[in-house]
Amino acid sequence: MSTLAEEFNAQAVFRGVPLAAQLDLTYRCNERCVHCYLDHDDAGEMTFAELDRLLGEMAAAGVFQLTLSGGEPLLRKDFFAIARRARELDFNLKLKTNGILIRAEAAAALRALCLDSIQMSIYSHRAEVHDAITKVPGSLARSLGAARFLIAQGLRVKFATVLMRQNRTDYPAVQALAQEIGAGFTLDPTVTPHINGDRSILALNIDSADLRGVMHDPLVTGDGASFCATPAGPGEDELNSFPCSAGHSACYISPYGEVYPCVQFPLACGNVRQQSFAAIWRDSPQLAEVRAVKIRDLPTCSVCPHAGTCTRCPGLAYMEGNLRGPSTADCEKSYARTGIPTAAMRRH
């Protein structure tokens, strides 16, 4: 049975409504994480006036859930003015931050915004590991201090852990730490290629043995038997479905006004400095191409036994050179989960 959120998203896709958007306010950051997929130089961020206009256009187009992110969004001196304007427009507002700049006063100001939730990247419970990944000494202590300030204000905080070779054994302790202080927890076993196409940081990905261990860990999977069950293969419903919500009910906007289907899908679809948000969402040829692709249109994935259960990311596939091709990272996850080779694996 589908959840209310799934029904809501399905209606947004049917009606062509951009239900959710991530807006990066800056690519500048006070950390230098080894796996980061962004350039941190300022190439001409949108001004407050430009962002004010954009927020109004997004609200008029039907955006409901807005995530403010970066880089580190709190590096913008006008961050709170931007966030207050977003709340005036009734966005359901989320924030991604490393928390380094958050002290008690900032936590109270964030509480006044009535944020839906705040996501913070915590890579390890061990300072020597976390700080080596962020390249900022003391960053774990400062992020955890911020999390405690925020939770004390009644805000919902979630720890997000990207799994890499450096921290591959630490996620259970991070999850336990999150539970201890009242935060949520999410785990991502995939390192994303750099937005400029550089794939060298993928060397940070955990190896296949570690990935199998994660995919069979009840802490991650919950009902392991169901999660790792042999896939039945795609039926008509799966073949007629879209790969994900990117470009259908969700999008991403860079600090420079560029619109993409998703933060992990660097297919430029227009720029809000040159066109209105609604015009890009409605008329972009690139978004039209993304929306035209169903599972049955994927030559390899449509005949794969995992098609109905795979987490295939079209953005990762696009960065591998083929919008309609398989995503290697997701093939590896499906194989690690079930032990059954994917169609792409069988062809190589």
The pLDDT tens digits of the residues spanning 128-160 come to 999 999 999 999 999 999 999 999 999 999 999
State what percent of residues in the chain have pLDDT above 90: 76
Q: Please, which pLDDT band fits residue 10 given cuts at 50, 70 and 90?
A: confident
What pLDDT sits at residue 31?
96
- 252, 22 contact by CB (below 8 A): yes
Separation of alpha carbons 186 and 175, rounded Å: 8
Mean pLDDT of the chain: 92
The identity of residue 89, as a single letter, is L
What pLDDT sits at residue 1?
41
Strand-strand pairing, 92-96 and 65-69: parallel
Q: Please, which pLDDT band fits residue 12 given cuts at 50, 70 and 90?
A: confident
For the chain, how long is the longest CA-to-CA vector? 57
Across the range 235-258, mean pLDDT stands at 88
Separation of alpha carbons 136 and 236, rounded Å: 50
- Say yes or no to pLDDT of 19 above 90: yes
Strand-strand pairing, 92-96 and 259-260: unpaired
Residue whose C-alpha is closest to residue 68's, from 196, 201, 254: 254
Helices (H), 16-99: 48-61, 79-88
What pLDDT sits at residue 347?
81
Whose tokens are 């906007």? That residue is 253
Residue whose C-alpha is closest to residue 64's, from 97, 109, 94, 24: 94
* Token pair belonging to 188: 């991502």
